[in-house]
A and B are shown apart, each in its own frame.
Chain A
Amino acid sequence: MSTRTSGSLRTYLVTRLLLFIPNVLVILTIVFVLMRVAPGDPITVARGGQLPPDQIAELRAAAGYDRSLLQQYWDYITGVLRFDFGETIIDSREITDILLSNGGATLTLTFAALLVALAVGVPVGLWAGRRRDSGTDAVLRVFAILTYAAPVFFVGLLFQLAFGVNGLGILPMSNQADPRVYAQTPKVTNVFLLDALLAGDLDAFWNGIEHLILPALTLGLLLSGIFMRIVRVNVVQTLKDDYVEAARARGVRERRVVIQHAFRNAMVPFVTVLGLQVALLLGGAILTEQTFNWPGIGSQLVRYLTSRDYVAVQGIITIFALAVVTASLLIDIINAIIDPRVRY
Chain B
Amino acid sequence: MATVATPVPGPDTERTGGGRRWRRVLRGIARPYRDSHGVARFMLVTGTVLVTIMVLLAIFAPWLAPYGFNQVANDAGRFGQHVPPGAGHPFGTTVQGLDVLSRVIWGARTAVTVVLLALLFSLFIGVVLGLLAGFVGRWLDRVLVMVMDALYALPALLLAIVVAFLLSEFVGGGVATAALAITAVYIPQYFRVVRAATVSAKEATYVEAARAMGAGPVTIMGKYLLGNVVHSVPVIATLNAADAILTLAGLGFLGYGIQPTEAAEWGYDLQRAVSDAGAGIWWTGMFPGLAIVLLVLGLTLVGEGLNETMNPSLRVRRLLPVLMPPLERPSQEQGEAR
Contact residues of A with B, CB < 8 Å?
22-23, 26-27, 30, 34-35, 37-40, 45, 133, 138, 145-146, 148-151, 153-154, 156-158, 160-161, 164-167, 173, 279-280, 282-284, 286-287, 290-291, 301-302, 305-306, 313, 317, 320-321, 324-325, 328
Chain A residue nearest to B157 in the complex (CB)? A283
Q: Are A39 and B289 in contact (CB under 8 A)?
A: no
B262-292 interface (Cβ within 8 A of A): 267, 270-271, 273-274, 277-280, 282, 285-286, 289, 292
* Residues of chain A contacted by B267 (CB below 8 angstroms): 151, 153
Residues A157 and B169 in contact, CB atoms below 8 Å apart: no
Would you give the shortest CB distance from A138 to chain B, in whole angstroms? 7
* Interface of A: prevailing SS: helix
Contacts of B256 in A (CB 8 A): 305
Which B residues form the contact surface with A (CB < 8 A)? 39, 146-147, 149-151, 153-158, 161-163, 165-166, 169-170, 242, 246, 249-250, 253-256, 267, 270-271, 273-274, 277-280, 282, 285-286, 289, 292-293, 296-297, 300-301, 304
- How far apart are A239's CB and chain B's nearest CB, in angstroms? 14
Q: Are B301 and A145 in contact (CB under 8 A)?
A: yes
Cross-chain contact A154 with B292 (CB below 8 angstroms): yes
Given A161-B282, A165-B278, A166-B279: A302 touches B155 (CB 8 Å cut-off): no
Task: Given A26-B146, A34-B166, A149-B300, check contact A157 B157 (CB 8 Å).
Answer: no
Bound Cα distance A148, B256 (Å) = 22
Closest to A173 in B: B278
Whole-angstrom CA separation of A45 from B166 in the bound complex: 11
Is there contact, CB below 8 Å, between B154 and A290? no
- CB within 8 A of B151: which of A22, A30, A39, A282? A30
Chain B residues in 8 Å Cβ range of A133: 39
The answer, among A30, A165, A321, A324, for a CB contact under 8 Å with B280, is A165
**Nearest Cβ distance between residue B174 and chain A, in whole angstroms?**
17
| Cβ-defined partner of B300 (8 Å) among A27, A145, A173, A282 | A145
A316 CA to B149 CA, complexed, in Å: 20
Given the contacts A38-B169, A154-B293, A166-B280, A328 and B153 also touching, CB distance less than 8 Å: yes
Residues of A within 8 A of B163 (CB): 34
Find A26's partner among B39, B147, B157, B270 (CB 8 Å cutoff).
B147
* Cβ–Cβ < 8 Å partners of A313 in chain B: 162, 165
B238 to chain A, nearest CB (A): 13
- Provide the residues of chain B in CB contact with A166, threshold 8 Å: 277-280
